[in-house]
Amino acid sequence: MKHGSPLGGLALRIAWGVVLATHVVLAGLVLRFMPHGFPLLHPRFALWSLAPMSVAFVSLALSLGLWRAPRLVARVAPAFPAFWASVALGLLLVFPKTGAVAAWPLLLLALCLAQLAGFTCRGYGLWQWLPGAFVGLVAGQLVARCERPAPPSTQPSREAPPRRGAASSAAPPPRIEMATDLVLESAALRVTWQGRHASISIAPALEFDRTPPDGFWSIFSDERWHPPDVAFASIASDALRVWTSDGTPRLEVERERSLLGPGTRAVRLESWALLERPVYSHLNSFMTVELTGHQRLGLRFSPCPTELIEVTRAEYPTGAPARFAYVDAARRFRVVQAADAEKGPFTTLAEGRLTADATLAIELVELGEPASPFARLELTDFAAEVSTALSPTAGYGVAENAIEFGLESATPSSAAHLLFSLAASGVGRGWDSVGHRAGLYRNRVTLRSLEAAEPPR
């Protein structure tokens, strides 16, 4: 079949030059800003490394072909609209509830490229341009399906929560003072202990930020998970229980008094959260801890007891590196520091082993000469319930679970925070969602004062 010379006009060559150059730039941006460090067979390696490198290589090769092999360029041209249309269709199939927000712009792009490709391939037979379009369709489907989140792999508790009995109870007030040094904020389920050298606030209830129902990026969803409101509180001597309207406990607080004086020696917290279906999120917390009053804070983790890690300030989205800890699939507990903000690669500061049945203990230490521990957190359920699957945003072997810690400002005495997540993707690059399995999550944590007991006056 005889037809006119393809890409014969300068305007058409310029148009394709712009399209190909744009694809090279986009591929370069993906390679620069999206996460890396995944195994070769991991979907995120294909998505953020293999796919952009392939797009850049093909686009550069075709840029040369605009002048040296115009007929080849004309036959390959349909691959571009087919690729973007296939990615859009794949997002609609994989993420039927939230994928449309990203799919429609891609379909519009595919339509524009299809018009350009149609003009370029005029006069060509079906079998001359169809192979290129088919390759684009297959590649687009693979890219879209590589974005699918991994199945949730957290481990809900196998225990059944206690039920509210016939004991006298009433709607909880906003603030409950169990002792002069121990207060509960009932709405936030936050317990604050005021020691002589520091104040520690603990919120042990499971919380989620945005929760896309089909597991797509959190920025494309406004859906939220709403825990049941507390309806009842029962208060006994040095004990407090907060319940939902159906009799399920939300938080139990038990106080152990100091051997000398009225102060609190230990606080035992137990929180329950029921997920009736799998919940996907980008950001969430299994527990948050806030500290004030320290001068220079350090942490000593029980899996690596000989190492003392200073709490520092991290910047975002770039700047001072973040520090955090996680448990990998081999049950290795690692404390690491990022290269830039919370992004990898990551340098190991300390490591040890944390089995699923172990209690994770964290000493809170006032750094100085000598270092002085003033409190200890003991988490009974964290190690058993975490997901050890690879994080889709961090790369470099980092798991979905995390213990993030840092300061509010560069001043060492500024407020500090610890954020515990069973499965989240706050570390790294992107807004990918990861899942919590449906089930009942239990969080038992003990805060022990290591301050010397104050004698009674």
- How confident is residue 318, by pLDDT bands cut at 50, 70 and 90? very high
Of 297, 309, 323, 321, whose CA–CA distance to 412 is shortest?
Answer: 297
Amino acid in position 250: R
In this structure, are residues 232 and 423 in contact, taking their beta carbons and an 8 Å threshold?
A: no
Tens digit of each residue's pLDDT (9 = 90 or more) over 223-265:
999 888 887 788 777 888 888 877 778 899 999 987 667 788 9
Question: What pLDDT, on a 0 to 100 scale, did the predictor assign at position 369?
Answer: 84
By the 8 A CB rule, do 267 and 255 touch?
yes
- Mean pLDDT for all residues in the chain: 92
Average of per-residue pLDDT across 203-208 = 96
* Of the listed ranges 6-10, 11-15, 71-75, 128-132, the one predicted with least confidence: 6-10
Which class for 282: exposed (0-12), middle (13-18), buried (19 or more C-beta within 10 A)? buried
Q: What is the predicted pLDDT for the residue at 32?
A: 94
pLDDT tens, position by position, 274-303: 999 999 999 999 999 999 999 999 999 999
Q: Check residues 41 and 68 and name the one with the higher pLDDT.
A: 41
Predicted pLDDT of residue 1 = 41
For residue 192, which of 273, 285, 262, 288 has the smallest C-alpha distance? 288
- Report the pLDDT value the prediction gives residue 8, as an integer from 0 to 100: 58
Taking 70 as the threshold, does the pLDDT of residue 455 lie above it? Answer: no
- Using the predicted structure, report yes or no on whether residue 388 has a pLDDT greater than 70: yes
Mean pLDDT within 269-274: 94
Q: Is the pLDDT of residue 440 over 60?
A: yes
Instruction: Name the band, by pLDDT with cuts 50, 70 and 90, for residue 453.
Output: low
Q: Which positions ≥6 away from 142 have C-beta within 8 Å?
A: 46, 51
Which of left, alpha, beta for 215 (phi over 0: left; psi -120 to 50: alpha)? left
**Phi and psi dihedrals of 353, rounded to 5?**
-130, 135
pLDDT at position 53 over 70: yes
Average pLDDT on 49-74 reads 90
pLDDT of 345 higher than 70: yes
Q: How far is CA 15 from CA 41, 115, 232, 294, 426, in A?
A: 36, 12, 68, 62, 40
Cα separation values, 134 from 79, 139, 210, Å: 7, 9, 37
What are φ and ψ of residue 38, in 5° steps?
A: -100, 155
Q: Could you state, in order of their start, the residue ranges of all structural domains in the chain?
A: 10-146, 175-449
Question: What's the chain look like in SS3?
Answer: CCCCCCCCCHHHHHHHHHHHHHHHHHHHHHHHHCCCCCCCCCHHHHHHHHHHHHHHHHHHHHHHHHHHCHHHHHHHCCHHHHHHHHHHHHHHHHCCCCCHHHHHHHHHHHHHHHHHHHHHCCCCCHHHHHHHHHHHHHHHHHHHHHCCCCCCCCCCCCCCCCCCCCCCCECCCCEEEEECCEEEECCCCEEEEECCCCEEEEECCCEECECCCCCCCHHHCCCECCCCCEEEEEEECCEEEEEECCCCEEEEEEEEECCCCCCEEEEEEEEEEEECCCEEECCEECEEEEEECCCCEEEEECCCCCCCEECCCCCCCCCCCCEEEEECCCCEEEEEEEEECCEEEEEEEEEEECCCCCCEEEEEEECCCCCEEEEEEEECCHHHHCCCCECCCCCCCCECCEEEEEECCCCCCCCEEEEEECCCCCCCCCCCCEEECCEEEEEEEEEEECCCCCCCC
Of the pLDDT bands very low, low, confident and very high (cuts 50, 70, 90), residue 383 is very high
Given a cut of 90, whether residue 429 has pLDDT beyond it is yes
d(CA 37, CA 410): 30
Specify whether the CB–CB gap between 90 and 82 falls below 8 A.
no
pLDDT at 2: 46
